[in-house]
Amino acid sequence: MAGPLSGLRIIEMEGLGPGPFCGMMLADQGAEVLRISRKGAGAKLGREKGDVMARGRRVVRLDLKKPEAVEAVLALAEAADGLIEGFRPGVMERLGLGPDAMLTRNPRLVYGRMTGWGQDGPLAHTAGHDINYIALTGALHAIGTAETPVVPLNLVGDFGGGGMMLAFGMVSALLNAARTGKGQVVDAAMTDGSAALMAIIHGFHAQGAWEDRRAANMLDGGAHFYGVYECKDGKHLAVGSIEPQFYAILRDKLRLAGADFDDQHDRAKWPALKEKVAAAIRTRTRDEWAAVFADTDACVAPVLSLEEAPAHPHNAARGTYVVVDGVVQPAPAPRFSATPADVPRAAPGHGESDLAALRDWGLAGETVESLKAAGAA
């Protein structure tokens, strides 16, 4: 695969959610990622057509309860630059595949660990999901209506604060290993990551520019010039007219001529002004408003569905989405001028095990055959 990470080899211990997302990001940018699937787990996890996050890498199914399979992973680590895993703390150690064992075999290895709570702390061994992690960092409290927090899918904890943060950590540690010859452990906790994503909000709060309640601030739907409004047809329009010159265009297009709109940042007026903006936007359909605001700097956009987004002219022109094996999915991001990424390969088929990958990574043919004979692969 082409891309800025071409030449790097990463072992991915198959898991759920943020771990595979990190593996996808690394593979998208050219790393050779070999996914180790625990034998017998294929039926549960599945790699059906449309498993976008499994794209771009080969997979080998190993029975890690057998010493032959554990030794095979340790041997693979000798040829790897990094490893990522997303099990609870201690699981990899009990398998004989913890950082000490791996770094003994390859001192340059970067060992990435993805968990919700981190490798230590009172909750480290407690089960959890995205919603729990962002609840404890204040992120969930800050998102939603005045009455109740709203679940932001699982984008903040699992993917933004989790998988993407692990990918950043891996690349950072890989750069350091290239300079020093020394690997290390990357402890990526979704609580840490989602807290980091809230840095700007903590800054605003410290400056007295953010109230610690929902729908009362400029970026959380409290302001009349930054929010989502329902249109005549029940579809929605996203309004983000923060700067005064953009706000002036918004007022012009919506015909908001009243003097009460003049003081844009008077928070006391925001609730009443939101009602007036909402009433104006309800007079036309979403696509009618999209035409009105087209080619302006009002920072107004139609809220598109998952099926509509790929067909939008801007997304289509940039190739923001690609079709792989008949499945529409996001293209690799970000983009690089000198080392552009390839279109991703489709995910391996359900239950597939590519034992040839073991040979390609340096395991002897007789070792691979012995794994098969032992029922370890």
How far apart are the C-alpha atoms of 255 and 238, rounded to whole Å?
Answer: 17
- Strands (DSSP E) contained in the chain are 9-13, 32-38, 58-62, 82-85, 110-115, 184-189, 226-230, 236-240, 300-302, 321-324, 327-330
Q: How far is CA 326 from the centre of its chain?
A: 23
Catalytic residue among 51, 63, 129, 312: 129
Cβ atoms of 139 and 194 closer than 8 Å: yes
Check whether the bond before 302 is cis (ω within 30° of 0). no
Written as one letter, the residue type at 229 is: Y
Cβ atoms of 276 and 265 closer than 8 Å: no
Cβ atoms of 30 and 81 closer than 8 Å: no
How far apart are the C-alpha atoms of 189 and 124, rounded to whole Å?
Answer: 10
Mode of pairing for the β-strands spanning 9-13 and 32-38: parallel
Catalytic residue among 130, 158, 192, 220: 158
How far apart are the C-alpha atoms of 75 and 373, rounded to whole Å?
Answer: 18
* CA-to-CA dists, residue 174 to 21, 99, 341, angstroms: 18, 15, 19
Query: Tokens representing 86?
Result: 């997303």
Is there a catalytic annotation at residue 205?
no
Q: How far is CA 39 from the centre of its chain?
A: 27
* CA-to-CA dists, residue 333 to 29, 75, 158, 260, 318, angstroms: 8, 32, 18, 43, 12
How far apart are the C-alpha atoms of 104 and 116, rounded to whole Å?
Answer: 27
Cβ atoms of 39 and 63 closer than 8 Å: yes
Q: How many residues in the chain? A: 377
Cβ atoms of 341 and 332 closer than 8 Å: yes
How far apart are the C-alpha atoms of 45 and 222, rounded to whole Å?
Answer: 41
Is there a catalytic annotation at residue 187?
no
Q: CA geometry: angle at 142 spanning 140 and 146, to 5°?
A: 110
Give the residue numbers annotated as catalytic, written as ranges. 129, 158
